Amino acid sequence: MIYRTIAACLLGFIGSVSAQILPPPAAPSNLRVTTLGVNSFLMEWKDNATNEKGWDIRVSLGTVAAPARFLLLPYANLTSYVVITNELPASTLSFRLAAYNGETGAESFSGYTSVVTVNSLPTSTFNPPTNCTAAVVNDGSFRLAWDDNSTSETGYQVEYRIGTEAWQLLVNVNPSVTFSFPVAGFLPTTAYSFRTRAFKGEPVVYSAYSNIATGTTLAFQPPTKFVAKADGEGAISFKWKDRSSVEEGYEIQWRTGTNEFASLGEVGANVSSTTPINGFSLGTPYDFRLRAFRTVSAVKVYTDFSAIASVTTSSLAKPTNPLGTVINDTTIGLTWEDNSTLEAGYQIQGREAGTTAYNVLGTVAANVEQFNLTGLKPGTLYDIRVRGLNQFSFSSFAPVIQLKTREGITSDLNPPIFWNTSFVHQIGISNPAELVSLTVSNLPSGLSYDDATKTISGLTTREGVKIVKLKATFNGSWVVKRNLVLRIVRPPAAPVVAAAFDAVEVTGGNTSSVPITGKFSDPDTSDARRVTTTKGPFDIILYPLAAPKTVNNFLNYSESGSYDGSFFHRSPPNFVVQGGGYTHGGSGFSKIVTFPAAQNEPGIANLTGTVAMAKSPGDPNSATCEFFVNLNDSNAPNLDYQNGGFTVFGRVAGTGMTLVNQIGALPRSDYTLTVDGNSRTLDDMPMDAASAPATMDTNLLVKVNSVLAVPILRYEAVSADEAVATALINGTNVDITGVAAGSTTIAVTAIDLDGQTVSQTISVTVP
């Protein structure tokens, strides 16, 4: 029997027998259960109802077709719940749930989900958490993290204190909280200490405390990057960066000329922009400033003001006095004078001298007066120009300047290379007549360098990242040092036998559990994630050795649940299927909150089925949350080199591309949406319908329900003679049950995510 060890809620009184019976709500779907320990399980599902009162959660030991009721949970609109049982190590449990509404005693229940069966962890541990850290976020919040060392906890108790004061309870969290836990509501400029401990049972038993993590909140932070923008005749809008978590609101002040500033009004907390404000005089310059406020002992306390923002309804003033500096063989520095108070930024364009079309080489934010043009060709003369921009228009260009980069290495520094495959790469020089010498060092085994042809060739079976050192010396003692980065991944390969099984003797009627762990391995896969969508799942095999920073970036989003509820928002024909940028839920469309951008790691070819991170134009190191699957090999020449090359960090496994291609073949259209309160147009959005509707229908979005870790191998076991012994896969064990005296063999097969297999046998004797 399963017992609850912590009360989830207090159920209401039994209703009158005459209570009205309501129509049942819509049934939930997509139930999945994740094992957290020997006594805790995370249930997650899709809520398809709009009128439910709560959930009928059912759990039983063993593989059960109709699990017994565990709890009536009286909370609507949930999509997850942690079930806490007594300790059941290495046990099988069955789960399902339904929605319900109506009064107590007169509930109406939806249909039940399919039964989901999982195994609890095999060993019970109750160790204290370790490596507790407290990262200061701003003036009133921290981000806490710790290592979970227990399998039987029912939750964690987090405590805090100021200085040497007594410890106070901050929050209790359930076992599913394992990633970067945010806490807020603290005082500015104050030192805090934090500690945590695990708990379980009734009466509650606590583990020892973790180490103490400390941090000091920042001073009450003023807003920055305050911008005022003309937004039509007589209207001005504002935006700024909110750097505080303790403000109660913001005050905007304005003036004309040298008059005193006066209050324009206040906006609420956690606001960083306004809609256009009407009523200003046309053709008049204004000054604005902004400050945050909070209440301390019934008195308003203000931050310093932001920098003053000035705006007028006149046209953008063009930048002037552009100056350039040759920095090296691939970089030219550009500066200019900012003559505008309304620009949102500057656009920098360039072209090779003698060509016709200019290319956009980058953009910078408002009030910036310098930009480094990177990624240029060595030994090449460029025309460069800059102009201001805002949301609706550009200023005139500043005068064109002309500069030539220094001599250098022109060939690709991230050439695609394949494991155990012939590789030939010639190192290009901008002006060979100026070259004095070229040295190549740190080549991986299997590759060699021919100085006469300036060519690296051979083949290598080394997996991961290899940095080859290039040093070119030119006339005038100009030296260029570059890293040739080789990112080598294994191609799909069948799993292999890692160790043989020992012979097994089992008496009739008894069962021997034989571990599979360590008996097989998959040479081409060390980690993978399953992307479960509304059209089905597909698996991504990750490349942590070849693209470690990008893989970690992807895992940050998947493990924090950022992708749950997201959707595929872009699928240009025969190009890519792109997602991971936006979510849709009860509050509408939102942009996924991003972590710091990942450093670019190009060099793995963008072939069909590869998965790469999307980036902002002109910024190779701008990849955050958005990822895409390449639909065609013909896209590789573009994707491998555009914007510094797109970083491949994995590939779609097995038959998963069938589903991805189905998404890519869906009808698509452009839709203008309200995202976090702002209008945004998304192009080539796939819609799960026979034809794309004229207006957005959120029911037709191809959504991502979850991105979760998936075992890289699954197993099957077959007895050669079931009259002697039977075999059953139980997690990562083979349960062998003796039937009658004799000998037989059990064939154990390992199947990888690509569907490739390898088998070996276990000799079995029943005395």
Residue 372 in any domain: the answer is: yes
Continuous segment of H or E residues that includes residue 658: helix 656-664
Which residues have a Cβ under 8 Å from the Cβ of 470 and sit 6 or more positions away? 409, 427, 438, 439, 440, 480, 481, 482, 483, 484
R_g of the chain computed on alpha carbons: 31
Cα separation of 605 and 414, whole Å? 10
* Eight-class DSSP state of 273: B
Q: Respond yes or no on whether the N-terminal peptide bond of residue 276 is cis (omega within 30° of 0).
A: no
Given 244, 276, 311, which residue is the final one in a domain? 311
Assess whether 548 and 632 both reside in one domain: yes
Cα separation of 596 and 552, whole Å? 12
Helix (H, G, I), strand (E, B) or coil at 700: helix
Structure-token pair, residue 548: 């470690």
Structure-token pair, residue 643: 């914007």
Out of 366-375, 530-539, 565-574, pick the least confident.
366-375
Tens digits of residue pLDDT in 92-151: 999 999 999 998 888 999 999 999 999 999 999 999 999 999 999 999 999 999 999 999
Structure-token pair, residue 757: 């297999």
Given 488, 509, 539, which residue is the final one in a domain? 488
The answer to whether 678 touches 589, Cβ cutoff 8 Å, is: no
Cα separation of 602 and 613, whole Å? 10
Residue 362 has pLDDT above 80, yes or no: yes
The answer to whether 117 touches 94, Cβ cutoff 8 Å, is: yes
Assess whether 681 and 552 both reside in one domain: yes
Given 660, 693, 709, which residue is the final one in a domain? 709
The answer to whether 626 touches 581, Cβ cutoff 8 Å, is: yes
* Cα–Cα–Cα angle for 598, 604, 610, rounded to 5 degrees: 85
Residue 4 in any domain: the answer is: no
Q: Can you give the CATH number for the domain in which 250 is found?
A: 2.60.40.10
Structurally, the chain folds into a number of domains equal to: 7
* Cα–Cα–Cα angle for 480, 486, 491, rounded to 5 degrees: 170
Q: What is the mean pLDDT of residues 339-366?
A: 89
**242 residue type, one letter:** D
Residues in the chain: 767
Assess whether 644 and 533 both reside in one domain: yes
Residue 18 in any domain: the answer is: no
Tens digits of residue pLDDT in 673-727: 999 999 999 999 999 999 999 999 999 999 999 999 999 999 999 999 999 999 9
The answer to whether 542 touches 686, Cβ cutoff 8 Å, is: no
Assess whether 589 and 645 both reside in one domain: yes
Assess whether 340 and 372 both reside in one domain: yes
pTM value surpassing 0.85: no
Assess whether 549 and 698 both reside in one domain: yes
Q: Read off φ and ψ for residue 459, nearest 5 degrees.
A: -145, 155
Assess whether 597 and 741 both reside in one domain: no
Domain extent for 280: 224-311
Q: Can you give the CATH number for the domain in which 671 is found?
A: 2.40.100.10
Percent of the chain scored above 90 by pLDDT? 84
What confidence score (pLDDT) does residue 181 get? Answer: 81
Residue 3 has pLDDT above 80, yes or no: no
Residue 144 in any domain: the answer is: yes
Assess whether 718 and 705 both reside in one domain: no
**370 residue type, one letter:** Q
Task: Output the DSSP codes for 169-195.
Answer: EEEEE-TT--S-EEEE-PPTT-EEEEE
Assess whether 170 and 265 both reside in one domain: no
Nearest residue to 100 (alpha-carbon basis) of 43, 13, 21: 21
Residue 313 has pLDDT above 70, yes or no: no
Assess whether 443 and 343 both reside in one domain: no
Classify burial at 40, counting beta carbons within 10 Å of its beta carbon; exposed 0-12, middle 13-18, buried 19 or more.
Answer: buried
Q: How confident is the model at residue 463 (pLDDT cuts 50, 70, 90)?
A: confident
Residue 95 in any domain: the answer is: yes
**176 residue type, one letter:** S
What confidence score (pLDDT) does residue 6 get? Answer: 30
What confidence score (pLDDT) does residue 14 get? Answer: 28
